[in-house]
A = this chain, B = another copy of it.
Amino acid sequence: MTEERFGGYNGKILRVNLSNGTVKIEAIDEAFCRKYIGGAGFVSYFLLKELEPDTDPLGPENKLVFAVGPITGIPLPGSGRHCVGAKSPLTGGIAKSEVGEFWGAEFKSAGFDVVIIEGKSPEPVYLYIHDGEAQIKSASGIWGKDTKETIGAIRDAENDKKARVALIGPGGENKVRFACIMHGLEDAAGRGGLGAVMGSKNLKAVAVRGTFKPTVANPEIVKALRKWMVDNLDKVANFSSFGTGGAMTYYEQVGNLPIRNFRDGTFPGVTNITAQAIKETIRVGMDGCFACPVKCKKVIEIKEPYEVDKAYGGPEYETLGAFGSSCGIDDLAAISKASALCNAYSIDTISTGGTIAFAMECFENGILTTEETGGIDLKFGNADAMLKMVEAIAHREGLGDILAEGSARAAKKIGNGAEAFSIQVKNLELPMHEPRLNKAMALGFMVNPHGADHCCNLIDLAFKDAGDTPSVTVSDAVPLGMESAPFDDIGPKKIALLKIVQLKKIIFDSLTLCQFLPYSYEQTAELTAGVTGWNTTVMEQLRAAERTMTMCRLFNIRQGLTAEDDKLPGRFFEPTTDGALSETALDPEKMETAKRYYYSLMGWDEKGVPTPEKLEELGIE
């Protein structure tokens, strides 16, 4: 096997058909790898190529794709990531989610770059991939179990404590439309309902193990970059100290923190739920991903009033916002418990929190009553109620069964104006950044192919200090000839900047590399050249990323999405009730103009459809 591998790649795809239990190995060549890079590029390519129009996302015809890139698993901070994708049961478009932990690196060591999972198993199964081979095994004994029990059982069954496991809990099995795929107990391929797709296939887990070491064309280049990153860990010092959520108090002040379902502008309780508060109260350690010295993941311990299993890690920023400020809750123990439950059940904390916040606002407006909630006083700020709803959603009990469809579908079912409180784009609940504050990010939410995703946008700008200093990602676009523009601007310069930042994020997601690490555009190109041996540059990477973005767009169009789906909830065209944004709101006309200019920059027509010429130019058939 080793003789066919090339710079950073195994050159191999594993294709598993669960309907008939077959496993095939296919080759990919270097030209293919160079064109699509890996990770998100590979996932988008195979989904676009292989899924028919009108695919039922929860039917056997959907495909689940896991992919790594050339960087995955090399000894470099941030290299422990991979991409998972499928047609989303939540959005109806592409679901494409990145995740850290050690799974991707281990999968690379197992000898593959991609696994494509097709069909539906008649009985619950799991997949075990190891050193160039793969078997489909029965999961009858573990179906229904939470993620911790499942991992333990699989490791026992394989007699392999080091196996890395991607898996679902009851949320995925119950096809909660925003179920995630957990990787270990702390890391999720979170968004778009990939866990529901896995559940629909009766696939409980994908366990991986291997001994192949990734090939590297020019180890000196990688070594130099690792040294640079290690020498520059102070650039992420704040992050290393606190993990995500260290800027929440600031966010609340400037108006970046969503409060009570994006309705309000002030939340004094924020100081109780920040990463600083976590460090001072419940934190007992920090965890990291493969090869990464940053260790940004919190380990916490809580006994009362909720017992939180420390194996599930502590809440990240998005979770703190989603179950915290967005539900009007400042109870750190409750938020941590909700986070752990989501990880145990494999449901996305952002959509879970967002959907509960939606239900709370419905409740406060009398659209939902205790009759529908089963007696639960589902007011903003009620931590117990929030936790009950998490359980109800994961197990699809009572109102939870409706909410498990996501806030958009739930709103339609509930009616009576509930739709005004469903805060999502393409049915994907918004992450914890205020679109009213950062207009370029708002546009990013609108046009992003998998809906309002915190990983694909200009959120960096939210970290601007009082002097409007661009953050790392934006300032490193200056050597590319991009000009900065005022923070709240949404003119052509800013849209061009949004495009290039989006493309950078796709480069990271394709390589695959952690977005939290401050590698510049130039460094990622250098890194790619070092690993692959290609004479490549930033521009080639940007064009590959543009190709991937265009493939995602084509996928969505084929599945029935249109420019009409590139729209923000009406809420953002009104100010918040108070706080930093109480006198400001987005201008619908300006956002529409901005959207059209974004389309033109992408080579898409007025309806957001990539032109045939652009496809030919990018080499998309």
- Number of A residues, CB within 8 Å of B: 33
Chain A 466-496 per-residue mask, 1 if CB under 8 angstroms from chain B, else 0: 0000000000001111110000000111011
- Report the stretch among A43-51, A214-222, A539-547 that lies at the interface: A539-547
> Which residue of chain B lies nearest to A603 when distances are taken between CB atoms in the complex?
B600
CA distance A535 to B482 in the complex (A): 13
Compute how far the CA of A214 lies from the CA of B613 in the bound complex, rounded to whole angstroms.
45
When the two chains form their complex, are residues B613 and A537 in contact, meaning their CB atoms are under 8 A apart? no
Contact with B along A98-112 (1 / 0, CB 8 A): 000000000000000
> Does A481 lie within 8 Å of B600, measured CB to CB?
no
A597-B613, A600-B613 as given contacts; A537 in contact with B492, CB under 8 Å: no
Q: Which residues of B contact A496 (CB under 8 A)?
A: 617
Complex alpha-carbon distance, A493 and B478, angstroms: 27
Contacts of A241 in B (CB 8 A): none
The CA of A22 and the CA of B339, in the complex, are separated in Å by 76
A240 contacts the other chain (Cβ, under 8 Å)? no
Inside 8 A of A619's CB, which chain B residues have their CB?
483, 493
Q: How far is the CA of A478 from the CA of B534 in the complex (A)?
A: 11
Chain B positions within 8 Å of A155 at CB level: none
Give the residue of B522, B544, B603, B611 whose beta carbon is less than 8 angstroms from that of A481. Answer: B544
Question: Within 8 Å of chain B (Cβ to Cβ): is A614?
Answer: yes
| Contact A617 B540, CB 8 Å, known A479-B535, A535-B479 | no
Tell me the complex Cα distance, A597–B615, Å: 12
Q: Which residues of B lie under 8 Å from residue A583 when comparing CB positions?
A: none
Per a CB cutoff under 8 Å, which of B495, B522, B534 touches A537? B522
A616 within 8 A of B: yes
Return the contact of A492 from the options B481, B536, B541, B613 (Cβ within 8 A).
B613
A543–B522 Cα distance when bound, in Å, is 16
A247 proximal to B (CB < 8 A)? no
Indicate whether A538 reaches chain B with its CB closer than 8 angstroms: yes
Interface string of A521-557 (1 = CB under 8 A from B): 1100000000000111111111110000000000000
Contact B480 A537 (CB under 8 A): yes
Q: 1/0 per position for A585-621, CB-CB distance to B under 8 A? A: 0000000000001001001000000010110110100
Known: A479-B535, A535-B479. A493 touches B540 (CB 8 A): no
A521→B538 CA distance, assembly (Å): 12
Considering the complex, which residues of chain A in the window 496-538 have a beta carbon less than 8 Å from any beta carbon of chain B? 496, 521-522, 534-538
- The complex places the Cα of A479 from the Cα of B541 at a distance, in Å, of 9
Contact between B539 and A480, CB atoms less than 8 A apart:
yes
- State in angstroms the CA–CA spacing of A130 and B537 once bound together: 42
Q: Which residue of B lies closest to A499 (CB)?
A: B617
Query: Is the Cβ of B481 less than 8 Å from the Cβ of A539?
Result: yes
CA distance A480 to B613 in the complex (A): 19
What is the CB-to-nearest-CB distance from A330 to chain B, in angstroms, rounded to a whole number? 43
**Judging by beta carbons under 8 Å apart, are B492 and A617 in contact?**
yes
Query: Given contacts A480-B537, A522-B537, A537-B479, are A493 and B617 in contact (CB under 8 A)?
Result: yes
Chain B: CB-nearest residue to A477: B539
Taken residue by residue from 307 to 342, chain A's Cβ proximity to chain B (1 for < 8 Å, 0 otherwise) reads as 000000000000000000000000000000000000
Which residues does A use to contact B, with CB under 8 Å? 478-483, 491-493, 495-496, 521-522, 534-544, 597, 600, 603, 611, 613-614, 616-617, 619
- 21 A-B contacts (beta carbon < 8 Å): A478-B540, A479-B534, A479-B535, A479-B537, A479-B539, A480-B537, A480-B540, A480-B543, A481-B540, A481-B541, A481-B542, A481-B544, A491-B613, A491-B616, A492-B613, A492-B616, A493-B619, A496-B617, A522-B537, A539-B539, A600-B611
List 19 other contacts, CB 8 Å, given A479-B536, A479-B537, A479-B539.
A478-B540, A479-B540, A480-B537, A481-B537, A481-B542, A481-B543, A483-B619, A491-B616, A492-B613, A492-B614, A492-B617, A493-B619, A495-B617, A538-B538, A539-B539, A539-B542, A597-B613, A600-B603, A600-B611
